[in-house]
Structure 1
Amino acid sequence: MGVSTSSPEKGICLVTVDFPPVNALPVKGWYELADAVRAAGRDPENRCVVLAAEGRGFNAGVDIKEMQRDPGHSALIGANRGCYEAFAAVYECEVPVVAAVGGFCLGGGIGLAGNADAIVASDDAVFGLPELDRGALGAATHLARLVPQHLMRALYYTSRTATAQELHAHGSVWKVVPRDELPAAALELAREIASKDGTLIRLAKAAINGIDPVDVRRSYRFEQGFTFEANLSGVADRVRDTFGAPDTSGAPATEEAPQ
């Protein structure tokens, strides 16, 4: 359990997240993920990173029980900072990051996938931000990188999800494959990227980040301010206390929630 790294092929680093039952990460987990991705990018032997997950889904956000056990705001602050670090690590990774998304990709999962350079998804994958149903805000910055502006707003306000096939139609998912073919499909794309010159691929990543029209780090940090405001005002607790209704995304609502 936790975050692990391996080298399935020359030039490729596989970073795998495994926090049963639904990959809802505690504060420590977000920092572990950030450290693993940054270390993979710094390794001169790597030319591509594949970000994957074990279990039922790619990511279900933060562990809300950790937050509910905290009588103050330290868990919330820790989750905010941890998510910020993990999302930034994916975006700033010195080599391209391919997200291999299977099952649900919710809350913090959107921050990770939205900041990846490419996404390969299983045919059962769904993407969404159920934040408003969980007393939270955030990651609209990253959802806006996956779908057009008006669809992003509708998904955000309704807490609905979009399928991998829908995102493929919008051009944000590279390929959709059956669940059992996801690891191979992600490695196939990573292998093609890793075949490029190592120095040139790093320059390409820096160049593309440099021309991004939105500073994702600043944009997400702005959103986080409203998350904290919702908590200070008490509205987040009021909504979070109702958390527990059945969740059609497949993530058990009685356990964890995205942030």
Structure 2
Amino acid sequence: MGVSTSAPEEGIAVVTVDFPPVNALPVQGWYDLAAAVRAAGADPKVRCVVLTAEGRGFNAGVDIKEVQRTDGHEALIGANRGCYEAFAAVYDCEVPVVAAVHGFCLGGGIGLVGNADAIVASEDSTFGLPELDRGALGAATHLARLVPQHLMRALYYTSRTATAEELHRHGSVWEVVPRTQLMESALELAREIAAKDAYLIRLAKAAINGIDPVDVRRSYRFEQGFTFEANLSGVADRVRDTFGDSPSSNGSTAAGTGKEHQS
């Protein structure tokens, strides 16, 4: 359980997240993930990082139960900062990051894959931000990197999810494969990237980040301010207390994925 790093073959590091039952990360988990990705990217022997997860799904966001059982705002601030660090670590990683996604990719998971360089997904993958149903806001910055602007807004406002195949049609998912082939397909893409010159691939990553039209770190930090306001105003608790009664909490979002943990 936790975050681990392996080196299955030359030039490739695999960072694996494992927080049962649904990979809803506690505060320290986000920091551990950030540290692992940064360390992998800083390793001169590594030319590509694969980010993956064990269990039922790729990521279910923040562990809301940790936030709810902690007095004051310490856990909320920790979650905000931890997510910021993890998302930034993926974006700033010195080498390309390939996200290998299976099952659900929700909330903070969108922040991770939205900042990745490429996404390989299993056929059962779904992507979405159920934030409004969880009394939270955030990661629209990253969802906007996966789908066109108007679709992002509709998905955000409704808390609906998109399938891997739908994202593939929008060009944000590189390949959709059966779940049993996910890691091999992700490693295949990583091998192609890792075959490039180590110094040049780092220059390429820095150059591509430098021409991004949106500063994802600043944009996401702006969003986080509204998340904190929602909590201070009490609306976040009110929505979380009534979660499960809303029409959008049916199978179109994340039914059966441990949604009580998601954020």
| Same structural fold, with TM-score higher than 0.5 when normalized by the shorter chain | yes
Map 1:24-43; keep pairs closer than 5 Å. 24-43=24-43
Determine the C-alpha separation between the residues in 2 that align with 1:159 and 1:58: 18
Q: Which moved more, 1:240-249 or 1:123-132?
A: 240-249
Confirm or deny: 8 A CA contact 1:57 1:105 kept in the other structure: yes
Q: Determine helix, strand or coil for the equivalent of 1:49.
A: strand
The structural deviation recorded for 1:247 is 5.2
Matched residue of 2:121: which SS? strand
TM-fit CA distance, 1:243: 2.9
Is 2:260 the partner of 1:251? Answer: no
CA distance in 1, matches of 2:179, 2:55: 11
AA partner of residue 23 (structure 2): N
Q: CA deviation at 1:240?
A: 1.0
Q: Is the 8 A contact 1:243 1:253 kept in 2?
A: no
Percent identity of the aligned residues? 83
Does structure 2 retain, via aligned residues, the 8 Å contact 1:127–1:161? yes
| Unmatched tracts of structure 1, length 5 or more | none
Partner of 1:217: 217
- Structure 1 residue 100: Cα displacement: 0.1
In 2, Cα distance between the equivalents of 1:80 and 1:26? 11
- The alignment status of 1:136 with 2:141, answered yes or no, reads no
Deviations along 1:42-95, one digit per CA (max 9) or x if unpaired, are 000000000000000000000010011012100100000000000000000000
Question: Which residue does the alignment assign to 1:3?
Answer: 3
Report matched runs for 1:151-230 at 5 Å. 151-230=151-230
**What code does the residue aligned with 2:16 have?**
T
- The aligned amino acid for 2:154 is A
- Note if contact 2:60-2:259 (Cα within 8 Å) is conserved in structure 1: no
Residue 253 (structure 1) shift: 2.7
For residues 85-118 of structure 1, what are the alpha-carbon distances to aligned partners after superposition, in whole Å with 9 as ceiling and x for unaligned? 0000000000000000000000000000000000
Rounded to whole Å, the distance in 2 between the matches of 1:42 and 1:253 is 35
Query: Which deviates the most, 95-104 or 237-246?
Result: 237-246
TM-score by length of 2: 0.96
Whole-angstrom distance in 2 between the partners of 1:4 and 1:57: 17
Letter in 1 for 2:168: H
Distance across 1 between alignment mates of 2:223 and 2:216: 11
- Segment of structure 1 superposing worse, 82-91 or 62-71: 62-71
Q: Secondary structure of the residue that 1:21 maps to in structure 2? A: coil
Distance 1:21 1:219 in 2: 31
Cα deviation, 1:208-252, whole Å, max 9, x if unaligned, reads 000000000000000000000000100001001123566532312
Q: Which residue of 2 aligns with 1:124?
A: 124
* In structure 1, distance between residues paired with 2:169 and 2:106: 19
Rounded Cα–Cα distance in structure 1 between residues aligned with 2:91 and 2:250: 29
Following the alignment from structure 1 to structure 2, what is the Cα–Cα distance between the partners of residues 57 and 214? Answer: 29
Q: 1:199 is matched by which residue type in structure 2?
A: Y
Question: Helix, strand or coil: the match of 1:222?
Answer: helix
Number of equivalenced pairs:
257
How far apart, CA to CA, are the structure 1 residues paired with 2:82 and 2:73?
A: 14
- Mapped to 2, the partners of 1:247 and 1:211 lie a distance apart of 40
Give the CA RMSD over aligned residues.
Answer: 0.9
Looking at structure 2, the residues matched to 15 and 257 of structure 1 have their Cα atoms a distance apart, in angstroms, of: 21
Q: Aligned partners of 2:41 and 2:250: how far apart in 1?
A: 36
- Does the CA contact (< 8 Å) of 1:247 and 1:253 recur in 2? no
User: How far apart, CA to CA, are the structure 2 residues paired with 1:214 and 1:62?
Assistant: 24
